[in-house]
């Protein structure tokens, strides 16, 4: 009975991840030989990498509008000073500058691989974390959300055939599937791709796998295909030696969970196994108290983000020109209030900034229709949104991902391209 109880627990836990991608592989083999799988290289389609900054990242700290003097009226204690002042901003274009903690990303910006989009976000009135993460990842607003249960990247994958084998098309390097990839064929979540294996004791894994395979080999959709696809995905990821992966160009990822996620993403992309979309999240940005833009919490998070993204850009700038077939978008559900609060922080806001990085990004620019922080220009006390985030995402999908059906990906919205992609 003890063995039987353990078997059923392992079976449920094991199939949980597979069920998230059960629609993906109705014909997936139960045993995947270790062969070279076609990936996105040579298809004319980039691998999409989505970084979601959960908690409402403060864009007015990350990308400082030091040329707008209203900033210093609204944030007399929190605003990072202009370039040349003590702990001042790092100039980007004569009006905007990086926070000092974002310094590791300056080379990517200067080399033309990184662009920033400012006064952007999703044109929805909510300032709720729950709502705005949901709508942002779904690619809709509350007004256009009726009947939408999938994510924008998931719907994109629905509209186009696989770039490779089709076995594993979308991967969230997370503990659970993300809404961004929801509904996408062959999409799942794996928190640690280097350790995706049969749960339970290793000395019984072969026997338990054989038993599960026998049980589900003839079982109908969705359970049977989910089990077989999970076995195949385990074998596919096992072809990549994540533990001994050596980044190119001496790139060093920070020894943080987020740094490890991006290092794993780089290994996945270079392995060329057919993964078309990857998501990696970084949380902790909800700073109502003690924002810490120079030495505190916000500065630590920005340093983690910047060092990981900088390592990713350097790593993919390899002899195979891997960066030329990758586009990364980094965004948050909303920004923070334009004015600081009485607790040394900033409350939920609206407009924000996002990062776009890749070999075909028109980098070295701040893409914006800056509304200013003048009182009359604020949106109920927040930075106004003048560029909908879907404009940027749509341009990436069309110009780098061969998307031909934006109406399905972003229902109820007609994007305006902003010249972010070359």
What number of other Cβ atoms are within 10 A of residue 245's Cβ? 16
Identify which of 214, 263, 220 has the alpha carbon closest to the alpha carbon of residue 241.
Answer: 263
φ/ψ of residue 282, rounded to 5: -135, 115
Identify which of 404, 397, 412, 405 has the alpha carbon closest to the alpha carbon of residue 420.
Answer: 397
In angstroms and rounded to an integer, the radius of gyration of the C-alpha atoms of the chain is: 22
Task: Decide: helix, strand or coil at residue 408.
Answer: helix
The tokens describing 358, both together, are 């890749």
Per-residue pLDDT tens digits for 42-75: 678 999 999 999 999 999 999 999 999 999 999 9
Q: Write out the DSSP string of 117-143.
A: EEEEE-------HHHHHHHHHHT--GG
Predicted local distance difference test score (pLDDT) of residue 212: 67
Predicted local distance difference test score (pLDDT) of residue 223: 60
Rounded Cα distance between 163 and 171, Å, is 14
List the helix and strand counts (H, then E) for the chain.
Answer: 12, 12
* Structural domain boundaries in the chain: 2-409
Predicted local distance difference test score (pLDDT) of residue 12: 35
Which single residue is written with the structure tokens 């604020």? 378
Predicted local distance difference test score (pLDDT) of residue 207: 73
Predicted local distance difference test score (pLDDT) of residue 6: 30
| 50, 250 contact by CB (below 8 A) | no
| 378, 338 contact by CB (below 8 A) | yes
Predicted local distance difference test score (pLDDT) of residue 119: 98
pTM of the model: 0.88
The tokens describing 142, both together, are 């509350």
Rounded Cα distance between 168 and 306, Å, is 28
Cα(first)–Cα(last) distance of the chain, in Å?
Answer: 62
The sign one gets for the Cα dihedral 139, 16, 50, 409 is negative
Q: Is the peptide bond before 160 cis (omega within 30 degrees of 0)?
A: no
The tokens describing 321, both together, are 């020109």
Residues in the chain with pLDDT values less than 50: 1-38
Q: Write out the DSSP string of 221-286.
A: TTHHHHHHHHHHHHHHHHTS-GGG---GGG----SSHHHHHHHHHHHHHHHTSS--EEEEEEE---
């Amino acid at each position: 009975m003890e063995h039987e109880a353990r078997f059923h627990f392992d079976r449920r836990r094991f199939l949980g991840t597979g069920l998230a991608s059960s629609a993906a592989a109705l014909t997936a083999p139960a045993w995947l030989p270790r062969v070279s799988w076609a990936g996105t290289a040579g298809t004319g389609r980039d691998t999409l990498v989505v970084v979601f900054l959960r908690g409402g990242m403060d864009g007015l700290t990350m990308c400082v509008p030091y040329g707008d003097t209203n900033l210093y009226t609204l944030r007399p204690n929190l605003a990072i000073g202009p370039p040349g002042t003590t702990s001042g901003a790092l100039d980007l274009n004569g009006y905007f500058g990086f926070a000092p903690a974002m310094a590791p990303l300056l080379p990517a910006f200067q080399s033309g691989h990184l662009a920033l989009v400012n006064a952007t976000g999703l044109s929805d009135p909510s300032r709720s974390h729950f709502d705005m993460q949901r709508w942002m990842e779904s690619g809709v607003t509350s007004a256009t959300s009726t009947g939408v249960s999938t994510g924008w990247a998931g719907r994109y994958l629905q509209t186009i055939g696989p770039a490779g084998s089709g076995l594993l098309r979308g991967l969230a390097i997370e503990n659970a599937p993300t809404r961004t990839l929801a509904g996408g064929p062959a999409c799942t979540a794996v928190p640690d791709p280097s350790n995706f294996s049969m749960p339970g004791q290793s000395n019984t894994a072969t026997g338990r796998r054989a038993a599960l395979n026998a049980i589900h080999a003839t079982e109908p959709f969705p359970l049977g295909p989910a089990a077989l696809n999970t076995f195949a995905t385990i074998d596919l990821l096992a072809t990549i030696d994540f533990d001994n992966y050596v980044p190119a160009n001496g790139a060093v990822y920070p020894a943080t969970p987020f740094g490890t996620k991006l290092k794993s993403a780089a290994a996945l992309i270079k392995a060329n196994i057919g993964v078309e979309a990857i998501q990696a999240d970084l949380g902790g940005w909800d700073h109502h108290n003690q924002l810490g833009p120079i030495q505190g919490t916000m500065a630590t998070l920005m340093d983690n983000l910047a060092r990981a993204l900088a390592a990713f850009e350097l790593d993919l700038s390899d002899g195979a020109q891997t960066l030329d077939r990758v586009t990364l978008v980094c965004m948050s559900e909303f920004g923070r209030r334009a004015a600081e609060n009485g607790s040394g922080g900033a409350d939920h806001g609206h407009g924000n900034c996002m990062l776009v990085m890749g070999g075909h990004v028109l980098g070295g620019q701040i893409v914006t229709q800056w509304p200013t922080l003048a009182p009359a220009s604020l949106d109920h006390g927040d930075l106004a949104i003048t560029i909908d985030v879907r404009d940027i995402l749509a341009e990436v999908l069309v110009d780098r991902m061969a998307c031909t059906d934006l109406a399905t990906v972003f229902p109820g919205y007609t994007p305006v391209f902003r010249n972010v992609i070359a």
